[in-house]
Structure 1
Amino acid sequence: MTSIMWFRRDLRLEDNQALAHALNNSEKLILLFQVNPKQFLENSINQQAFFASVAHFRKKVNQKLHLQILYGEPLDCFNRIKKEIPNWNHIYFNRDECGFGFTRDEAAKIFFRQNEIAVHDFLDAHLHSAQEIKTLSNDFYKVFTPYYRNWLQRPKPQPIKVAMDQKKMVSATLFPEDEKRFSDYLTTLKISPSTSVGQQAAKEKLNQFIAKNLSDYTENRDIPIKNATSHLSRYLRTGEISIRTVWQAVQEAEDSLGKETFQKELCWRDFYTMIYAANPQQKEQPIQKNFSFIQWENNEEQFRQWKDGLTGYPIVDAAMRQLKETGWMHNRLRMIVASFLTKDLLIDWRWGEQYFQQMLVDYDPASNIGGWQWAASTGTDAVPYFRIFNPTTQSKKFDPSGDFIRHYVPELANVPDDLIHQPEKMSAPQQRMTNTLIGKNYPAPIVNHQLARKRAIAAYEMSKDWAKSNYE
């Protein structure tokens, strides 16, 4: 009996549900990673970061075993394998529950059934499946707090022991041309495969967070300059660390308010996956149909200024430059820049979501789409449309001394604390003294927040009125 272990976003040999079951139930096992040509074409920071992790995983696996690389659409790849290995009759993988991954898996299952290949798929990326936690009336939750209460009281899965057995592994390279094509692609990556990737790096990040930042997480998590968040999102996205391993490590830590708060953050991952599974069109359409008729301004020049960190709002500019420089952005800042794009600039949230998809090394479809719909007030349990972040107020609250701003916006390095959040208020002599010339080496605000706020509220209310007349 020959089986395949199909790796996707579970790039680890430890605590891996599908791999553990495959090893326990197979006579011969092929370790497989399939590369979709569309991923090569995209060549975004997101994809480069993901393939840097794949490259690291492949290198580690190939030290003792062999990870087969196949290039092509999934069904084409499986057809080739079936012709090469006629006695292949079992496949193991950790399932995706929403988005592209879900669609891919459903199509693959049809092929497997037609070819009499037994499918063994497992929940691995989350603590609870998208279908597991529902209301008393068996509906999907729409509000986070009651979902969290239900989620918290349920037992959590424990890490899985994987008993590696080299004798079962197929070590011969099945498709050398595909392997060469992948190796050639890796030479084009701007992100090095050695840059903080892999199981060991993920474990070190987890241990460091628990030792240094977990207990004070509640107080410090919203302050970007303190860098007090876990930075585990990248590794959870690629599966270089298991969510079960993270949960167990957190549970073993001393009780604290920070521990409780971080548990809630882990729950958001499951919540947003559930929301995406319940609303499969949410990447293209607002969940709240009342806001389907918003007349977005979609000013392309202002969108470019937002992407480049040239809005004249220092906290927004610092955040966007952090994203461009590092491929990551602090969560509080993600909320601020999303609110600014959708409410202050009145630019379609889908533009921002797609840009984050390209730029984030920790891009997770369910969480990213959910976060953008939350900020745009179009999603489930979203911020009310009339509650609009004031970027200056947010800046003063979460970067009071301006240290984070100065780090990413060096044009403002000499601006005093009392003016760092609104440098346009400096007098001409102050601008010359600080070498910050508004309109020359740092822009004036591209919109007036108070006027933009009124415009946004009017646009949302008009959409509600149109929806009422169209849907009734």
Structure 2
Amino acid sequence: MEKISIFWFRRDLRIEDNHGLFQALNQSENVLPLFIFDKNILDKLENKADARVEFIHDQITLIHNQLGSKGSSLLVKYGDPVTVYQELLSNYKIQAVYTNRDYEPYANNRDENIAVLLHKQEIPFHAFKDQLIFEPGEILNGTGEFYKVFTPFSRVWLSKFDPKKIEDYQPMHWKNLLQTTAFDVPTLKEIGFEKSDVSIPSKTADEEIIFHYNETRDFPAKNGTTRLGVHLRFGTISIRKLVLKASELNTTYLNELIWREFYMMILTYNPQVVNQAFKPAYDRIPWRNNEEEFQAWCEGKTGYAIVDAGMRELNATGYMHNRVRMIVASFLTKHLLIDWRWGEAYFAEKLLDYELASNNGGWQWAAGTGTDAQPYFRVFNPSSQQEKFDKNWKYIKKWIPEINSDKYPKPIVDHKFARQRAIDTYKSALNQ
């Protein structure tokens, strides 16, 4: 039986500046690179033309070809990870498994199960930090507890951040890859999916956009954001390289990357936030959950132009501008009093850059239920937000061509009435 070590790709779909791959090739010989299309995740996706799955498949094919040029190959499996590892254990004498850490509850549970399986065979499971600069547990307050407010968290983050200490994990020992004939990569169809007509943004970090980010980021009609979220989500770019660039060019953009780490930390210490409010009292809110109004929100037919433009952009492209995300989330939870979990689930289904920690954190922020959230009595006025950030209606006209015609619906709720209803409902629930 052939002796090998395994490097397991997950949310790190690149061969350059990959910490776990670097360690595997430095510490082991005959490293077999592995990727598993996890059926536990894929089977829950209802859209079989999901652009994210096609994107992953494209990146896996790219890595497969890159490794092929080095005399090796990528073993690609479709199935339950525990079952896949049981099969590998019967085919190879595995010396060690290397990977990069993931922080979501499902991933933690999956990795624990794999580690236990390997431990029974006395096989070490090595996991490394790769998708964050500071992991949960590295930024704590004076009493050793996690921060519940972003500003002090970011202050400590910045005080600990030293660009000179950011390592570049360029794998050098390619000779330690398992030299093998090419494995077959299953087709999209073989894993139950098909091609999508949604395109993926470029992974090039546009320095001009980053440099002017603080000036342009709030205006959805401008090309003022990097659109790199999907690449951070799947690790096709290195967070270390992006943070270094941000620290040189724009502190506002760097701040956004710190928010990502803040929410990852919140999720790690509070896994219950996936299904519950971070502030338990807010689970008492009696959501109206009107299904017709939710459908109107999903389809971009609420009669509030900035809300509808955002939802139509999301449905067509898998992307929504960040300022507009806040507006549509506030509208759903405050104006319509629809449970933030409904909106969070819809975004999870549609967003190319969907990341559990940030999506959950953003929705709970908008609903007032989360850590460091906007207060419940702050209710965005969609009309004033539109006046502020899309004054010339350029963004709105792009997504709502019928905006000034009889075909465009009247507002489904009056702002003044909805605002007061939201404040009264929250106040009543919280005073119980």
Aligned to 1:379: 370
Question: Which of 235, 238, 250 is 1:239 aligned to?
Answer: 235
Question: Which of 179, 182, 190 is 1:184 aligned to?
Answer: 190
Aligned to 1:74: 81
Structure 1 contact 316–336 (Cα < 8 Å) conserved: yes
CA deviation vs aligned residue, 1:321-377 (integer Å, no higher than 9, x gap): 000010000000000000000000000000000000000000010000000000000
Could you say if the C-alpha distance between residues 265 and 308 of structure 1 is closer, same or farther in structure 2, counting changes exceeding 3 Å? Answer: same
CA deviation vs aligned residue, 1:422-451 (integer Å, no higher than 9, x gap): xxxxxxxxxxxxxx11xxx11100011111
CA distance, structure 2, for counterparts of residue 43 and residue 170 of structure 1:
35
Aligned to 2:425: 459
Show the 5 A alignment for 1:320-359: 320-359=311-350
SS of corresponding position for 1:2: strand
CA distance, structure 2, for counterparts of residue 276 and residue 182 of structure 1:
31
Number of residue pairs matched by the alignment: 422
Structure 2 contact 4–178 (Cα < 8 Å) conserved: no
Aligned partner of 1:446: which letter?
Answer: I
SS of corresponding position for 1:396: helix
Structure 1 contact 288–380 (Cα < 8 Å) conserved: yes
Tell which structure's C-alpha radius of gyration is larger: 1
Aligned to 1:449: 415
CA distance, structure 1, for counterparts of residue 95 and residue 14 of structure 2:
24
Structure 1 contact 6–33 (Cα < 8 Å) conserved: yes
Aligned partner of 1:101: which letter?
Answer: A
CA deviation vs aligned residue, 1:240-276 (integer Å, no higher than 9, x gap): 00100111223444xxxxx011111110011000111
Identity %: 40
CA distance, structure 2, for counterparts of residue 287 and residue 135 of structure 1:
19
Structure 1 contact 99–365 (Cα < 8 Å) conserved: no
Q: Give the TM-score normalised by structure 2.
A: 0.93
Structure 2 contact 13–63 (Cα < 8 Å) conserved: no
How far off its partner does 1:31 sit? 0.8
Aligned to 1:272: 263
Structure 1 contact 373–382 (Cα < 8 Å) conserved: yes
Structure 2 contact 26–173 (Cα < 8 Å) conserved: no
SS of corresponding position for 2:146: coil
Could you say if the C-alpha distance between residues 196 and 301 of structure 1 is closer, same or farther in structure 2, counting changes exceeding 3 Å? Answer: closer
SS of corresponding position for 2:396: helix
How far off its partner does 1:317 sit? 0.3
How far off its partner does 1:153 sit? 1.0
CA distance, structure 1, for counterparts of residue 385 and residue 186 of structure 2:
50
Aligned to 1:431: none
Q: Gapped runs of 5+ residues in structure 2?
A: none
Moved over 4 A (4+): 44-47
Structure 1 contact 52–191 (Cα < 8 Å) conserved: no
CA distance, structure 2, for counterparts of residue 452 and residue 54 of structure 1:
42
CA distance, structure 1, for counterparts of residue 337 and residue 427 of structure 2:
13
Aligned to 1:256: none
1:367 matches 2:333: no
How far off its partner does 1:44 sit? 5.0
Structure 2 contact 115–125 (Cα < 8 Å) conserved: yes
Question: Which of 87, 96, 105 is 1:99 aligned to?
Answer: 105
Aligned to 1:136: 142
CA distance, structure 2, for counterparts of residue 222 and residue 68 of structure 1:
43
How far off its partner does 1:168 sit? 2.5
Point out the more displaced range, 8-17 or 26-35.
26-35
CA distance, structure 1, for counterparts of residue 118 and residue 256 of structure 2:
37
Aligned to 1:4: 6
Show the 5 A alignment for 1:7-156: 7-43=9-45, 48-63=50-65, 64=68, 65-85=72-92, 87-156=93-162
How far off its partner does 1:167 sit? 5.6
CA distance, structure 2, for counterparts of residue 167 and residue 339 of structure 1:
52
How far off its partner does 1:282 sit? 0.3
CA distance, structure 2, for counterparts of residue 374 and residue 270 of structure 1:
15
How far off its partner does 1:454 sit? 1.2
Point out the more displaced range, 159-168 or 456-465.
159-168
CA distance, structure 1, for counterparts of residue 391 and residue 235 of structure 2:
36
CA distance, structure 1, for counterparts of residue 147 and residue 20 of structure 2:
28
Structure 1 contact 18–92 (Cα < 8 Å) conserved: yes
Aligned to 1:168: 177
Point out the more displaced range, 179-188 or 304-313.
179-188
SS of corresponding position for 2:36: strand
Aligned partner of 2:120: which letter?
Answer: Q
Structure 2 contact 49–194 (Cα < 8 Å) conserved: no
1:159 matches 2:159: no
Aligned to 1:218: 214
CA distance, structure 2, for counterparts of residue 264 and residue 228 of structure 1:
16
CA deviation vs aligned residue, 1:205-254 (integer Å, no higher than 9, x gap): 20x2x1x222321121000001201111110001000100111223444x
How far off its partner does 1:27 sit? 1.2
Could you say if the C-alpha distance between residues 185 and 191 of structure 1 is closer, same or farther in structure 2, counting changes exceeding 3 Å? Answer: farther
CA deviation vs aligned residue, 1:163-189 (integer Å, no higher than 9, x gap): 251562253467x6xx44655347613
CA distance, structure 2, for counterparts of residue 313 and residue 398 of structure 1:
14
Q: Gapped runs of 5+ residues in structure 1?
A: 254-258, 416-435, 467-472
Structure 1 contact 46–358 (Cα < 8 Å) conserved: no
Structure 2 contact 330–380 (Cα < 8 Å) conserved: yes
Question: Which of 225, 231, 248 is 1:229 aligned to?
Answer: 225
Q: Give the TM-score normalised by structure 1.
A: 0.86
CA distance, structure 1, for counterparts of residue 85 and residue 200 of structure 2:
32
CA distance, structure 2, for counterparts of residue 350 and residue 170 of structure 1:
48
Could you say if the C-alpha distance between residues 180 and 55 of structure 1 is closer, same or farther in structure 2, counting changes exceeding 3 Å? Answer: closer
